[in-house]
Amino acid sequence: MPFVAAIDQGTTSSRCIVFDSDSRIVAIDQREHRQIFPRPGWVEHDASEIWERVQQVVTGALAKAGLRPDELSAVGITNQRETTVLWDRATGRPVHNAIVWQDTRTDVLCAELGRHRFQAETGLPLASYFSGPKIRWLLDHVPGLRERAERGELMFGTMDTWLIWNLTGGAAHVTDVTNAGRTSLMNLATLGWDPKILAALGVPESVLPEIRSSAEHYGTATGVLEGVPIAAALGDQHAALLGQTCFDPGEAKSTYGTGAFLLLNTGKEIVRSSHGLLTTLGYQFGGEPPVYALEGSIANTGSLTQWLRDKMGLIATAAEVETLALSVEDSGGLYFVPAFSGLFAPHWSPDARGVLVGMTGYAGKGHLARAVLESTAWQTREVVDAMLLDVAGLSAGMPLRSLRVDGGMTANNLLMQTIADVLDVPVERPFVAETTCLGAAHAAGLVTGVWPDLDALRAEWRRAAEWTPRMDAATRSRHQRKWAKAVERAKGWLDADDLEEEDS
């Protein structure tokens, strides 16, 4: 029986899953890496540590599966997107910590360049979230880097590129369209680096990888995966779209990990959002035309559970957030807007910061836990509302008769019920909740012939759990009004001098 491995290099951890040809999980191994917070608003990772963890989880998963690398048909890579690594071409060593997607240090730069300047080309507002401004920051602020880049000594990559380069022993410097589309440097229509944007941002083309499709042969692995074809690369949200088998226009999924990301397949059409969503690549298989998507990105969801655990000390494990929230009946009038990295979709307010409102002496830690979980549901609602407005009248049609969900937070029943209540549609979780890895494995397995076509994959999607709405309309609109008021209180918190301090 052929096996396929997927490596998911996420924001908080890396995992490797081995699937069999019936898409069943044979083995899984996972390891966390450090979150480095050098200043308020800054978030970094050590790319060498991540490469170590990836090798460990690959070795771990193969050992648990009792398989040798030569028994794998292929490996697919999926990854946290936008996080930016620069490394030395000769030594292969990173020249700085990776700047993580949540990091806000480039806000001032983006405002100076103009937030909507390249939106027509890239489908994205210019925001600190994306890789291009992060590259520019590194070249401007780390002594000697710009000169080294101009001399062709440096390489840039998001995590897909960094891993493929390391897995191939430095043979392949490539990325795929879904990852390249998140740099703010790629033109959505041509699928190539846009020279005008490179010039405006001051990014030399010599540092950039070659842009390829999401499913093709990029190279053969050495080391821990000796001899295995690397046959897929996708940003994690795009892989989850595949793993949830959202192959048709109008199909949507939402993934709840560190952040939450709702993607709607819009088919071959590039749909421009007028309501604060991103236009992004869904995926591209080999030489076929690309499939596009609309995305609602929410910066902080699961990260809040970690914050309650690691910074506030209110819980000892992630699962305990649900127990704590269930110790009370409701949030006691509390609303928590987690604008830790400003607010992403649909607001794109870099000057917002987190607020907790509605405090009285009655409020306790159970109420806080509940308000924190509810913030994920309300942020989802905002994104869904924006999406409905964007697609009204389009062939993609009405996106939401139900919402397919996945990611670490879907273990939380209270949260899933709250999302169903707040959206007023059923929420469905598939049998294989590891849809990100599944999507990457499927894309790789399509290339090497483990699965014949998309219909074979679609037939394998099975619902494991469903939550149906239970909240009455009046209660929902009362909470929605309060949530909207709370969001307004989070916006505009930072002043110009605060932003400049973060940038320097």
Ligand X SMILES: Nc1ncnc2c1ncn2[C@@H]1O[C@H](COP(=O)(O)OP(=O)(O)O)[C@@H](O)[C@H]1O
Cβ nearer to ligand G3P, comparing 122 with 258: 258
Cβ nearer to ligand X, comparing 342 with 408: 408
Binding test (CB under 6 A) with ligand G3P, winner from 5, 11, 85, 450: 11
Element (H, E) at 230: strand 229-235
**By the rule CB under 6 A, 296 interacts with ligand G3P:** no
Element (H, E) at 160: helix 159-167
As a whole number of angstroms, the distance between CA 76 and CA 215 comes to 8
- For residues 167 and 222, is the Cβ–Cβ distance under 8 A? yes
Is the Cα torsion angle 98, 99, 101, 103 positive or negative in sign? positive
Q: How many CB atoms lie within 10 A of CB 179?
A: 30
Contact positions vs ligand X (CB under 6 A):
10-13, 257-258, 302-303, 305-306, 318-319, 321-322, 407-409, 411-412
Q: What are the backbone dihedrals phi and psi of residue 427, each rounded to the nearest 5 degrees, phi first?
A: -110, 130
Cβ nearer to ligand G3P, comparing 336 with 344: 344
- N-term to C-term CA, the chain: 55
Residue 98 beta carbon to ligand X: minimum distance, rounded to whole angstroms: 15
Residue 40 beta carbon to ligand X: minimum distance, rounded to whole angstroms: 19
Amino acid at 114: G
**By the rule CB under 6 A, 101 interacts with ligand G3P:** yes
For tokens 């080391």, the residue is 223
Site for ligand G3P in 210-239 (CB under 6 A): 235-237
* DSSP three-state, residue 140: helix
As a whole number of angstroms, the distance between CA 158 and CA 196 comes to 21
Site for ligand G3P in 321-340 (CB under 6 A): none
Cβ nearer to ligand G3P, comparing 73 with 280: 280
**By the rule CB under 6 A, 82 interacts with ligand G3P:** yes
* DSSP three-state, residue 413: helix
Q: Which does 342 bind (CB under 5 to 8 A by kind): ligand X, ligand G3P, none?
A: none
Residue 257 beta carbon to ligand G3P: minimum distance, rounded to whole angstroms: 3
Cβ nearer to ligand G3P, comparing 82 with 503: 82
**By the rule CB under 6 A, 439 interacts with ligand G3P:** no
- From the list 26-34, 78-86, 151-159, 440-448, the region that binds ligand G3P by CB under 6 A is 78-86
For tokens 């897995």, the residue is 167
The single-letter DSSP state of residue 203 is: -
Annotated binding site: 11-13, 15, 81-82, 129, 236-237, 258, 302, 306, 408, 412
The single-letter DSSP state of residue 146 is: H
* DSSP three-state, residue 193: strand
Residue nearest to ligand X (CB): 408
Cβ nearer to ligand X, comparing 35 with 59: 35
Cβ nearer to ligand X, comparing 257 with 290: 257
Q: How many CB atoms lie within 10 A of CB 37?
A: 14
- For residues 421 and 470, is the Cβ–Cβ distance under 8 A? yes
Q: Are strands 44-45 and 98-99 parallel, antiparallel or unpaired?
A: antiparallel
Binding test (CB under 6 A) with ligand G3P, winner from 60, 229, 257, 338: 257
Q: Which does 81 bind (CB under 5 to 8 A by kind): ligand G3P, ligand X, none?
A: ligand G3P
Binding test (CB under 6 A) with ligand G3P, winner from 15, 33, 81, 404: 81
Return residues touching ligand G3P (CB under 6 A): 10-11, 80-82, 101, 235-237, 257-259
